Amino acid sequence: MCNHYRNAPEALSTWRDYIGWDLFDPLPAPDLWPRRPALVVCNGGAGKVPAVMTWGVPLTLPGKRPGTTVTKHVTNVRNLTSPFWRAMLNDPAQRCLVPFTSFAEPRPGGGRDEVWFAAPGTPLTAFAGIWRADDQGPVFAFLTCAPNPLVAPVHPKAMPVILAPLLRGSNGLLHR
């Protein structure tokens, strides 16, 4: 599943125009991995608001030994009916846009090689995301869907939900 994406710095100027706000300086790194800070756009009282959040929603599970726990950071929302996600999915205030210029899926057959995907000619592209406050600060994950014909040969289970071009319908995602 997608656990690596990029934000080309030159594409973020388009986001500045879309949001109507100045972005952060310095911006998060252009190569984005789980448990690292990333730029997201939330719905604030005065409209779209940029924020830096950590990618991955903590999920604490029982450990292998009695009385222990393990915390995993879930980066992709596959099961939209899971009680774990229900509150965030049902609350428009917990929805966000996750800007990206390209994303990677592991190359079939294992190893560290990746196959990269992008939406050419669409500088304003985002994943549909959800977020929540956490003890360590705000965290987010993005929604997934069935893969399109381009992604399916590389990752047949799922791909991120992509809102493009020019984020048609993104205001609906943030407000409905």
CATH no. of 5-57+70-175 = 3.90.1680.10
pLDDT score at 23:
62
The angle subtended at Cα 78 by Cα 77 and Cα 83, nearest 5°, is 70
Cβ within 8 Å of residue 165, ≥6 positions away: 119, 121, 122, 124, 125
- Give the tens place of pLDDT for each residue, 45-102: 777 888 899 999 999 999 999 999 999 999 999 999 999 999 999 999 999 999 999 9
**pLDDT value at 122 more than 80:** no
**pLDDT for residue 172 is more than 80:** no
Given a contact cutoff of 8 angstroms between Cβ atoms, the answer to whether 38 and 52 are in contact is: yes
Q: Count CB-CB contacts under 10 A for residue 170.
A: 19
> Which of the listed ranges 32-46, 55-69, 101-115, 156-170 does the model predict with the highest average pLDDT?
55-69
Question: For residue 93, what is the enclosing H or E element?
Answer: none
Closest of 155, 167, 174, 132 to residue 3, by C-alpha: 155
Q: Is pLDDT larger for residue 73 or for residue 19?
A: 73
What average pLDDT does the chain have?
Answer: 86
Higher per-residue confidence, 88 vs 21: 88
pLDDT tens string 2-17? 899 998 877 777 777 7
**Residue 12 · residue 41 · CB < 8 Å:** no
